[in-house]
Chain A
Amino acid sequence: MTSTSTAATGRSRVAGGPGAPTPRPWPLLRHSLALAGRSLTKTRRNPGVLLDALILPVLFLVLFVYLFGGAVAGSTQEYLQYLFPGILVLTTVLAGQVATGLHIVVDMKKGVFDRFRSMPVPRTSILLGSVLADAIRYVVAVVVLFGVGYALGFRVETGFGSALAATGLAIGFGFSLSWLTVLVAVLLRDETLVSTVGFLLPFPLVFGTSMAAPAGTMPDWLRAWAEVNPVSHVIEACRGLLLGGPVAGPVAASLAWSAGFLLVFGTLAVVAFRRRV
């Protein structure tokens, strides 16, 4: 059995020096895209992970409109118009939180992660690939939400361009905030903890705003929170873009907060990740 030339697998020259590939430019981008492709394939094979991000916002939309719509706004139809922009932001924030961190933790614990790390791949690509692939979840979630919203009677009162801008703004914010859950994932490295944090975090952030009711009707402490809460700006901006009204201020504030979150949480997550692995 130590005789080797009879190896069943043959002797085709695959291993051993001369075939070794040479480095090519833009490793961060190319490797991130290759890894994003992997994550997308996995999502396609396990579409269940999309469901969390799809069902919850739709559920809230339907519940809120029909349970409280009459009481809060006098009619469910008027309330739907008021509520929808907030649910849009809830959708993108949830889409960025529910699975992102979880996938990273699961990956970090799997053997395939060791293989990535033993290859000449920039560490940051491993994180970026995972986060980039989430894009599909934002898009699917937003499309479904608009579909349900329209079926219930919601109408954009501005124009297609404005609606697109509102969607982009909400997705950008959800994406920036998702780096917080990436950071939590890298630091905690525990599936249960990370999915709990990812699931709970959006609620005080998105509900502690004028999403479901004007801040003026809230007790002082909650109004104070709603006023400093960055999500308020995003909801206001989306409301303006979808229904009309002043947009410049809230849009600028939303963009500033998004950039801030991306910069701070993104940098911290990358640093923590590189240190950890």
Chain B
Amino acid sequence: MRPAFEAEGLVKRYGGTTALDGVDLQARPGTVLGVLGPNGAGKTTAIRILATLLRPDAGRAVVDGVDVLRDPVAARRIVGLTGQYATVDEDLTGTENLVLFGRLLDLTGPDARDRAARLLDRFGLADAAGRRASTYSGGMRRRLDLAASLVGAPRVLFLDEPTTGLDPGKREELWRTIRSLADDGTTVLLTTQYLEEADALADEITVIDQGRVIAHDSPAGLKQHVGGQTVVVRPRDPARTADAADVVRRVTGHPVDRSRGGVVTAPVDDGRAFAGIVRELERAGMDVTELALRLPSLDEAFFTLTGHDAGRTTTTQEDS
């Protein structure tokens, strides 16, 4: 099947710094591609190129069969964009914003008003429709923003860190909305620094770091790819964390991670080690509140892939 969007070998330089160094991205129609990376990885640059806001120094980008560089005007009829910062006019009401965008997308006046009303209703903003966007809460503004990018019924939707600054409840609400859009057939590209978010939403994840793609896989495949399972032990008595660490180290034969207070984690090579740990803890008479075997989190996956923590880069350059 033809990809809903595709970028090949995107390169973008700003003076001496290279924001993108040959990035490939693509997604099948109706799926969510998560682009995961720390600040400054080049996520926003890639999304701005796909949304026709920026020209790359090299590479090719196509949305729904339309070349973004050769025919940006046609591409703009296909895509919707929600940037990192609110892309609505705060001096206008919710309705005025959506009607304006409808007019700019060549809807007639009545159609624009009708679509605005339906979108505001869908996003739970009907009651606030007549209020200025500046009076909206962070979550409402995000929803209005998302509604604004849907006025043109785009086939491809670009969301640049859509949940930044939202509290967890609001974030999950927005996740459900994004999921329902993909179910309706919209292809979504979503950038995020939240590993949890990519895991929850994306059908496939592209990990980029310092302008390069360092992995592309399904969330499960990615986790599988970056290593075996991890055992997690949390003693009931935090004072005995060191004892627990000794047990885990002895049984697994691997160094243990105690960076989270009161919790011991270590890689395990096979399931038998887990049983061994259970026996040894029993023998030591240690009561635990958490004992689990799990796949590595995307955080850990990122650490394995890049050699540094997500959210902390070796460069101080801002993502622009």
Contact = CB atoms under 8 A, between A and B. Distances in A.
Interface string B120-158: 011110000000100000000000000011101111010
Contact of A17 (B84, B118, B155): B155
Interface residue range, chain B: 35 or more
A245 B76 CA distance: 56
A75 interface: no
Nearest to B51: A118
Contact of A10 (B80, B122, B149, B182): B122
Interface residue range, chain A: 35 or more
Nearest to A4: B179
A118 B105 contact: no
A1 B77 CA distance: 32
Nearest to A23: B106
The residue in A23, A112, A114, A117 that gathers the most chain B C-beta atoms within 10 A of its C-beta is A112
Contacts of B107: 21
A217 interface: no
B103 A115 contact: no
B81 A114 contact: yes
B100 A15 contact: no
Contacts of B105: 21, 119-120
A4 B85 CA distance: 26
A120 B115 contact: no
Contacts of A116: 104
Given A21-B105, A41-B92, A7 B153 contact: no
A31 B73 CA distance: 14
A22 B106 contact: yes
B91 to A, nearest CB: 5
Contacts of B150: 14-15
A116 B81 CA distance: 10
A155 interface: no
A90 B131 CA distance: 38
Interface in B80-112: 80-81, 83-89, 91-92, 96, 100-107, 111
Interface of A: 1-2, 4-24, 27, 30-31, 34-35, 37-38, 41-42, 45-46, 110-112, 114-121
A34 B108 CA distance: 11
Nearest to A107: B89
A65 B90 CA distance: 43
Given A9-B176, A115-B81, A117-B53, 8 more contacts: A8-B124, A10-B122, A14-B122, A15-B150, A20-B152, A20-B153, A20-B155, A34-B100
Question: Closest 4 CB pairs between A and B?
Answer: A7-B180, A111-B87, A19-B153, A4-B179
25 contacts: A4-B182, A7-B176, A8-B176, A9-B122, A9-B176, A14-B122, A20-B152, A20-B153, A21-B102, A21-B105, A21-B107, A23-B106, A30-B103, A34-B104, A35-B104, A38-B96, A111-B83, A111-B87, A115-B88, A118-B76, A119-B76, A120-B74, A120-B104, A120-B106, A121-B76
Chain A interface SS verdict (over half): loop
Interface of B: 51-53, 73-74, 76-77, 79-81, 83-89, 91-92, 96, 100-107, 111, 115, 118-119, 121-124, 132, 148-150, 152-155, 157, 172-173, 175-177, 179-186, 200
Given A5-B183, A111-B86, A114-B87, A16 B155 contact: yes
A19 B84 CA distance: 26
Nearest to B30: A16
Contacts of B153: 14-21
B180 A11 contact: yes
B88 A112 contact: yes
A10 B123 CA distance: 9
Given A12-B118, A21-B105, A23-B106, A120 B77 contact: yes
A265 B38 CA distance: 43
Contact of A16 (B81, B122, B177, B186): B186
Contacts of B132: 45
The residue in B104, B157, B181 that gathers the most chain A C-beta atoms within 10 A of its C-beta is B104
The residue in B89, B148, B155, B173 that gathers the most chain A C-beta atoms within 10 A of its C-beta is B89
Contacts of A34: 100, 103-104
B155 A14 contact: no
Contacts of B119: 14
A22 B77 CA distance: 9
A100 B65 CA distance: 40
Contact of A9 (B51, B89, B152, B177): B177
Given A18-B153, A41-B92, A111-B86, A119 B101 contact: yes
Given A4-B183, A5-B183, A14 B91 contact: no
Contacts of B85: 111
A1 B176 CA distance: 7
A37 B173 CA distance: 34
Contacts of B106: 21-24, 27, 30, 120
Nearest to A113: B87
A110 B90 CA distance: 10
B53 A46 contact: no
A116 to B, nearest CB: 7
Contacts of B181: 15-16
